[in-house]
Structure 1
Amino acid sequence: MKVNKDGNGYTFAFSIILVIVVGVILSSLSIGLDPLKKANVAVKKKMNILSALGVESTRQDGSDKYDEFIKDSYVISHNGVLQEDLPEEKKAFNLDVQKQFRDKTIEVSDRLYPIFEAEKDGATIFVLPVVGKGLWGPIWGFVALADDYETIVGTSFDHKGETPGLGAEIAQDFFENRYNGEKIADNGQFTPIKVVQNGTGSEEQKVDGITGGTITSKGVEKMVNKTMRVYYKYFSKNK
């Protein structure tokens, strides 16, 4: 039977077949590339952890340097209790703290907190993930804590959609470095670090915020303090 290529039926059929074929091709590509995407995400995470340590890395050497500096990793509860016998997806590196933060079905008291124990220049440093909210979306990062369990020696912050030149500046060295030397505790008690404007404020624990990026800066303040409070529960028990 001769096919009428000028008819509407032929056009619709051709369109449907084309959509199905393209869909199958795109789906196959997505599945095929999934291991590569996961590997890239893992390397990026390792690079961010190393950045908080003050160690430069690339996608090519990130995994090797991670293995060189990170000596151990484990997970604690919201009450600062070490968690053991966790399933693979809840172990320190695999635990998605951003997803956990977004999941409103998970109670705050049920959240888990990874710790990455590093060794650099003969000293032990603890790299701790933090996650919170900025002006336009999620913010996250890592805070590196010295082996006195109080002094911040490095940070690495990032964001999804903060305003360029304003809130987005939290990911720049000049802001991250302002946390260096700040302490999360005083005389054995947790002490929040305030983000202030242009050196104002009477608190000893304070850092200058981003001019014009007040809401994002305060988001970093809340993110760091609420998370460090949890980690300090663990460190204060295990000094």
Structure 2
Amino acid sequence: MKTNTNSYTIIYSVVLVVVVALMLASVYQALKPQQDANVMLDTQKQILYALNQDRDMTNEEAAKLWQNLVEADDMIDANGNVVEAGKQGGTEAGFQHLNSAEAKDGKLVVFRCKVDGETKYVIPVYGNGLWGPISGFIAVNGDKTTVFGAYFNHEGETAGLGAEIKDSKKWQDLFKGKELFANGDRDHVALSVEKKVTDPKTQVDCVTGATITSNGVADMLKAEKGGLQPYVKFFNAK
């Protein structure tokens, strides 16, 4: 075949594209298991942070803590009943449905944990901030009425005030001890982030200068999908 013709150029280009695509696909498949493992470990660390564990933990320490503290990653229905039970240190039940449509369509994820001999429940939450999605985990005490700890993540947020929801442990610690409900109303989640706190039992000060992101956290906590509100019957169950 003549190499100075248009047909040769086209065929050569097509072959080159196919070869490069196959090489990239092979590299992706080779790296995917490690990428999935890294994502899982990062998520586990976020849950452990919500349980007030050391944020400077190594990967090995995180793996050990996960096995010791997380009793099960359960799936529950809208009535708070377990429909798929996880296992000690598990990642095969509720963990697999984090951020999935199934977990938001009648089935919910709850991590049952034990910290210093006391039961804690970690709830995943999802919402929207100024520059993109925000997410987090709220750890609830065994009484199902008060917050044990919280961790929020906002990968799309630029460095600055809005990123405080992720980077500031001091701000996240403000959630500790807050009550989920107010004035005896256990049908509606009252936990919120406010620019002006009027109920210190249920409200946390917003991040100064990051009103939109703070509002995103507030909306996320009370949302009917992705928030704490769908867990009301679980919180009320004995």
The TM-score normalised by the length of structure 1 is: 0.84
Paired with 2:107 and 2:26, the residues of 1 have a C-alpha distance of: 35
Deviation at 1:25, TM superposition (A): 0.7
After superposing the two structures, state which structure 1 stretch, 57-66 or 17-26, moved more: 57-66
Inter-CA distance 94–230: structure 2 relative to 1 (3 Å threshold): same
Letter in 2 for 1:133: N
Select which of 205, 208, 213 maps to 1:208: 205
Give the Cα separation in 2 of the matches to 1:21 and 1:161.
34
Deviations 1:164-221, CA, capped at 9 Å, x for gaps: 2122211021221111111102446244123222xx3322321111122111111111
Within 5 Å, give how 1:25-64 maps onto structure 2: 25-56=23-54, 57-64=57-64
Gaps of 5+ in 2: none
Deviation of 1:90 (Å): 8.4
**Counterparts of 1:194 and 1:64, CA distance in 2:** 33
Q: Which residue of 2 aligns with 1:99?
A: 100
Note if contact 1:47-1:58 (Cα within 8 Å) is conserved in structure 2: no
Give the drift of 1:42: 1.2
Contact 1:194 1:221 in 2 (8 A): yes
Q: Name the SS of the counterpart of 2:59 in structure 1.
A: coil
1:107: how far off? 11
Percent identity over paired residues? 32
Q: How many residues of Structure 1 are paired with residues of Structure 2 in the alignment?
A: 225
Equivalent position amino acid for 1:166 in 2: L
Stretch moving more, 178-187 or 75-84? 75-84
Quick one: distance in 1 between partners of 2:10 and 2:78?
57
Kept in 1: contact 2:197–2:204 (CA 8 A)? no
Q: Is the 8 A contact 1:73 1:117 kept in 2?
A: yes
Structure 1 residue runs of 5 or longer lacking an equivalent are 101-105
| CA gap 1:99/1:159 in 2 versus in 1, 3 angstroms | farther
